[in-house]
Amino acid sequence: MNKEHVDLLITDAAEVISCDGPAEGLAGDTVRHLDPIFNGAVAVRDGKIVAVGDTTELKSRYYPKRNFQADGCLVSPGLVDPHSHLLYAGSRHDEWEAKVTGRGIDAGLQGGIHRSVAWTRAATDEVLITQAGRDLDEMLIHGTTMLEAKTGYGLDQDTELRLLQLTNSIDHFITVIPTYLGAHVPPKEYLQDTDAYVEMVIDLLPQAAKFAEYCDVCCDPIGFSSDQCRRIGKCAIELGLGIRVHADQTGNANGGLLAAELGAASADHVDYTPDEDLIAMAAAGTAAILFPSVTHHLLEMIPLPKYGELEAPPKPFMPQLAERTINSGCVVALSTDYNPGSSPTLSMQTVMQLAARLFRLGYAEIWNMSTLNAAATLGRGHERGSLTPGKRADIIIWRVPEHGMVIHRFGTNLVRDVFVAGEQVIDQARFA
């Protein structure tokens, strides 16, 4: 039999998980299904997946330029991280110590953001872009091959535009999708007149639209009202931008409902979004993005020892959130929400581990939520997020043989090799 030529044939994987599914993501209960191929192989040509299947079968069909031994390891699609705040300056580790110990003053979510804003405004382009480059390298080594990156630590027109231009100029193996988040929280100068700040956010939209694919609005008690977010969102839509919403993280501000009304790509956090609004999101095709690393880092489920007593944790209901969003019929995805305050982690592996531990999710749904569903929320479900013939060959070879082990074995980096568009960029956890 004449064999077909391919560039790369990855063989002898203990498991290949394709995370295949519809381009719009796996909605509701369908997310709970994963079908590993044992003794699997992946064929790649011109940077794209050609076939996924059994090693013996693919060896008999394809003649590769390069045969890559997966050595009994797990093979998966690259991880997709659909919500991050990549560009910022400074570190807020001091606030966190105050929070965990209960000693000293914790700056609180909004107060803390203002500190990052001051440092970011003062930082040079070089400082910002150097840090972003290092962070992206670290994300790649931990398996992320696509990332959404928001502004939101400028909160004045000059800095917001600068952050967008810098984000847009990034050239990295990780595909970076820029989002304009001028409406993150009202800046200190506008706390008394948030409508005036909203006008500034809107005023910058035509410029922002040149560099961003999405506009995000924070519809939350610490951010903006749903009327303010609607105004921004409608202008953004007119300019051709997609919509993302930071919704209801610190209270129900009707953020999930607004996201559905605007036909947003996603409503993120949704901690306080009621069931009927999650159902409206599902009907509108608005995905829910969840952040177990935020729940972890903000100690949302941990009682605080105070005056010899244990104070009740602020969000004891978080273990039910994932189940509620899935049952409402939403496409649900996971993400780091990488930022200097509520989630200083670059690792989707950490997020996946915390998703099981804190959100009571099983291995199958965690994998789908970190690959295909995450790509779908970025409008990339047709070309990324799964090992499906025709999609870009973003592939991870793991140090462990089974997909559940990536989630079970927390605390170390389990990525061995990373392929981006069929090229090996990480070799034994180091840049190739």
26, 41, 201, 218: which one contacts ligand NIG (CB under 6 A)? 218
Per CB under 6 A, which region of 54-62, 135-143, 338-346, 411-419 contacts ligand NIG? 338-346
Residue 112: contacted member of Fe ion, ligand NIG, none (CB under 5 to 8 Å, by partner type)? ligand NIG
- 288-292-296 Cα angle (round to 5): 150
Which amino acid does the sequence have at 142?
A: H
Assess contact for 272 and 246: CB atoms under 8 A.
no
Q: How far is the CB of 179 from ligand NIG (least distance, A)?
A: 11
Residue 33 near residue 93 (C-beta atoms within 8 A) = no
Count of residues touching Fe ion (by CB under 5 A): 1
Shortest approach of Fe ion to residue 294 CB, angstroms? 8
340 lies in the site for ligand NIG, by CB under 6 A: yes
**Residue 34 touches which of ligand NIG, Fe ion, none (Cβ within 5-8 Å per kind):** none
Q: Decide: is 249 part of the binding site for ligand NIG (CB under 6 A).
A: yes
Site membership for ligand NIG, residue 220 (CB under 6 A)? yes
Q: Does residue 351 contact residue 366 with C-beta atoms inside 8 Å?
A: no
CA distance 284 to 245: 14
116 lies in the site for ligand NIG, by CB under 6 A: yes
Of 16 and 218, nearer to ligand NIG (C-beta) is 218
In angstroms, the Cα distances linking 390 to 21, 54, 387, 403 are 13, 18, 9, 23
Binding mask 337-366 for Fe ion (x = CB under 5 A): x-----------------------------
Residue type, 126: E
- Binding partner of 295, given ligand NIG, Fe ion, none, CB within 5-8 angstroms per partner class: none
Structural contact between residues 69 and 134, judged by C-beta atoms closer than 8 angstroms: no
Between 185 and 351, CB nearer to ligand NIG = 185
Query: Which residues within the stretch 321-340 sit at the binding site for Fe ion (CB under 5 A)?
Result: 337
Burial of 48 (0-12, 13-18, 19+ CB in 10 A): middle
> Around Cβ 61, how many Cβ atoms within 10 Å?
18
Binding status of residue 293 toward ligand NIG by CB under 6 A:
no
**Which of residues 11 and 345 has its CB atom nearest to ligand NIG in the complex?**
345
Q: What are the residues facing 176 on neighbouring strands?
A: 147
The region that residue 430 occupies, defined by phi over 0 for left and psi between -120 and 50 for alpha, beta otherwise, is beta
Among 109, 170, 245, 415, binds ligand NIG (CB under 6 A): 109
| Size, binding site for ligand NIG by CB under 6 A | 18
Any residues with CB less than 8 A from the CB of 208 and at least 6 apart, and which?
A: 160, 161, 164, 180, 182, 215, 241
The nearest distance, CB 295 to ligand NIG, in angstroms, is: 11
Give the 3-state secondary structure of residue 336: coil
| Amino acid identity for residue 207 in this structure | Q
Among the listed residues 36, 112, 182, 242, the single contact to ligand NIG using CB under 6 A: 112
Residues that bind Fe ion (CB under 5 A): 337
- The residues of the shown chain that bind ligand NIG, judged by CB under 6 A, are 109, 112-113, 116, 184-185, 218, 220, 222-223, 246, 249, 294, 337, 339-342
